[in-house]
Structure 1
Amino acid sequence: MLNMLSFKRQKFIIIIGFIIIPLILLLTFSYYPAMELIRLGFTDWDGMSPTQHYIGWANYKEVFKNPEIFGVFRHNLAYFVVGIFQNIFAIYFAVILNAKLKGRNFFRLLLFLPYILNGVAVAYLFGYVFDTTNGSLNFLLGHLGLSGDTSWLGNEKMINYTLGSIGFWRFMGFNMVIYLAALQSIPQDIYEAAAIDGANGWKSFMYITLPNLRQILELNLFLTVTGALEVYDLPLVLTQGGPAGASETFALSIVHTAFQFNNYGLASAMSCVLLVFVIVVLGLQRLILRGRD
């Protein structure tokens, strides 16, 4: 029957066929849950009751008025700070491993390997590294004559940076590979012309490499911001948000609100606030970077 149709109509049917299935999946598993999440944010549903009472903006008022809820965003700041250093080191290693260095493929693989490890497995691994009494980090520091009894996961002031350093180790290689791909797309003729004009390595980096990495920098900054705001697995596995809630991130607080306190309405409102917060931050990031084009 399809052969009886004109080529133009056949093309139209095939295009619609390829579009409609992904669209249905997107509506079913993305947009509908998002709309349901917004609706639940205006109710007091406990996750089990068959009835859901509409309570208006009460959940959102609770999110912003309760410092124990909205205040945990400051814990996410440590992950963002570590993420900035992560990108700096990723660019540094990408530039080095983009040169004609012996064994560079081995070092590329070595730095990228942590990214392919499971997040929970990585958390358990660093649980042994940061252990106060038998941890390998304190053991090493003790043999170097430094303090070997530091409570890396028990100090409220440093715990988020400690957890953030795990993300540094795990994701730096991934960012490095992205930067490396961007570096390899820059024509070498530009560097040769700059060298003839007397530009040294630093000037070539500042005036050739960085401008050509702008869009990739924007992408990795996007990943850094969203990753910092949505940290969940590391504090869940290693600290459960402790000590005394010092490492509880906003995403972990959402999970605790829903599954420990059975307040799905408030958890839904918190999820919507997180979504809006991510959109606002990324919008500001885009506006600032676009202003520097």
Structure 2
Amino acid sequence: MKGAPEPAPRRPRGIHRWFTPWLYLLVPLAFLVTFTGLPLAGLVSYSFTDWDGLSPVKNFVGLDNYTDLFTRPQLFRVFWVSGFYLVGSVAQICAALYFATVLSFRTRFRNVFKGVLFFPYLVNGVAIGFVFLYFFQPGGTLDTVLGWFGAGPHLWLGDPDLVNTSLAGVSVWRFMGLDMVLFLGAIQSIPPELYEAAELDGANRWQQFRHVIAPSIRPIISLSVILAVSGALSVFEIPFIMTGGANASETFVIQTVKLAFNFNKTGLASAAALVLLVVVLLVTGLQQVLFPDERVEQS
């Protein structure tokens, strides 16, 4: 009688469990290092040189670029323009939250409204900029509509008192659909039992929003606020296309681009870009400290 076959040697499960996740992460990490890590390292190295962006010679200047930035306060005055976009972001989040809440209930043609509201986010930013150039031009679409109510024409993009409000309005129109989709997805993930319990307790729509919807989607609201603050600080596309930074509409990013490509100060522009990155990270971290996410348990 032959003996039973010997069992095959077992593989060390600890090494296998450690190695497998990194195998799946290999390609994403490679892309992250190639398209984020290496460019960031290059940006840091350029910020310590006087490189003009064209010459093969890069002279090391130490912290001179950073000293130049912080001793020229006019370079940071453009941050006040971000305040218009920050106020617009508040209106954008409120509008997106309203539409997401309304469309989460049984509303006629709600799929049509979802598509209409989300469509602007799918349109290329350059195309949006050129469309709204005609919308805001003197005697254009906006002036024509306002003329029906007796309002005279305005220099929407030529008046320093109106230009930033107009540009912020374009950003709200473009990005509101993205926030709405994020909120709508979070609202639809709320268990129906919570709505049923609220209705049994006699809660109306506002009370359901206040006590059920808002607490349940608080992490998504926090994410939208973080994106809004970082976007307001680093806004570029819409004002650059529509005004080029003219008439007191220049943002910090537009100013940085001009330093690099108009004045050939790539080293100084790299330092400015790193300062903006640090400012965005600090504001985001401060926001997380002041308004920490609370884990919501749904039963």
- Alignment correspondent of 2:65: 59
Question: Quick one: which amino acid aligns to residue 151 of structure 1?
Answer: L
2:105 is the counterpart of 1:88:
no
Q: Percent identity?
A: 40
- Alignment correspondent of 2:232: 228
Larger deviation, residues 163-172 vs 10-19: 10-19
Offset of residue 7 of structure 1:
9.1
Q: Kindly tell me: are residues 6 and 94 of structure 1, through their superposed partners in 2, closer, same or farther at Cα, counting changes over 3 Å?
A: same
- Distance of 2:281 and 2:39 partners within structure 1: 18
1:60-79 alignment, distance < 5 Å: 60-79=66-85
1:93-242 alignment, distance < 5 Å: 93-132=99-138, 134-147=139-152, 149-242=153-246
Offset of residue 226 of structure 1:
1.8
- Distance of 2:281 and 2:43 partners within structure 1: 16
Whether the 8 Å contact between 2:44 and 2:270 is mirrored in structure 1 is yes
Task: Please list the CA deviations of residues 110-148 of structure 1 after superposition, one character each: whole Å capped at 9, or x if unmatched.
Answer: 11111100000000000000001x31000111121122x
Task: Please list the CA deviations of residues 50-103 of structure 1 after superposition, one character each: whole Å capped at 9, or x if unmatched.
Answer: 222222222112222223311111111111110110000001111111111111
Q: Kindly tell me: are residues 260 and 113 of structure 1, through their superposed partners in 2, closer, same or farther at Cα, counting changes over 3 Å?
A: same
Q: Secondary structure at the match of 1:198?
A: coil
Q: TM (normalized to structure 1)?
A: 0.91
Question: Quick one: which amino acid aligns to residue 25 of structure 1?
Answer: F
- Distance of 1:198 and 1:19 partners within structure 2: 49
Q: Secondary structure at the match of 2:291?
A: helix
Q: Secondary structure at the match of 2:51?
A: coil
- Distance of 2:26 and 2:209 partners within structure 1: 46
Q: Kindly tell me: are residues 94 and 139 of structure 1, through their superposed partners in 2, closer, same or farther at Cα, counting changes over 3 Å?
A: same
Q: Kindly tell me: are residues 16 and 188 of structure 1, through their superposed partners in 2, closer, same or farther at Cα, counting changes over 3 Å?
A: closer
Offset of residue 189 of structure 1:
1.8
Q: Kindly tell me: are residues 59 and 83 of structure 1, through their superposed partners in 2, closer, same or farther at Cα, counting changes over 3 Å?
A: same
Q: Kindly tell me: are residues 178 and 20 of structure 1, through their superposed partners in 2, closer, same or farther at Cα, counting changes over 3 Å?
A: closer
- Distance of 1:6 and 1:198 partners within structure 2: 60
- Alignment correspondent of 2:3: none
Q: 2:28 aligns with which of 18, 22, 26?
A: 22
- Distance of 2:170 and 2:119 partners within structure 1: 14
- Distance of 1:181 and 1:14 partners within structure 2: 31
- Distance of 2:128 and 2:257 partners within structure 1: 21
User: Structure 1: any 5+ residue segments left out of the alignment?
Assistant: none
Q: Secondary structure at the match of 2:74?
A: helix
Question: Quick one: which amino acid aligns to residue 138 of structure 1?
Answer: D
Q: TM (normalized to structure 2)?
A: 0.89
Offset of residue 12 of structure 1:
7.1
Offset of residue 167 of structure 1:
0.9
- Distance of 1:159 and 1:37 partners within structure 2: 32
Q: Kindly tell me: are residues 173 and 19 of structure 1, through their superposed partners in 2, closer, same or farther at Cα, counting changes over 3 Å?
A: closer
Q: 1:279 aligns with which of 278, 281, 294?
A: 281
RMSD between aligned residues:
2.1
Q: Secondary structure at the match of 1:290?
A: coil
- Distance of 1:281 and 1:13 partners within structure 2: 36
User: Structure 2: any 5+ residue segments left out of the alignment?
Assistant: 1-9
- Distance of 1:116 and 1:135 partners within structure 2: 24
- Alignment correspondent of 2:255: 253
Task: Please list the CA deviations of residues 191-231 of structure 1 after superposition, one character each: whole Å capped at 9, or x if unmatched.
Answer: 22223223333222212111111001011112111211221
Q: Kindly tell me: are residues 19 and 195 of structure 1, through their superposed partners in 2, closer, same or farther at Cα, counting changes over 3 Å?
A: closer
Q: Kindly tell me: are residues 191 and 62 of structure 1, through their superposed partners in 2, closer, same or farther at Cα, counting changes over 3 Å?
A: same
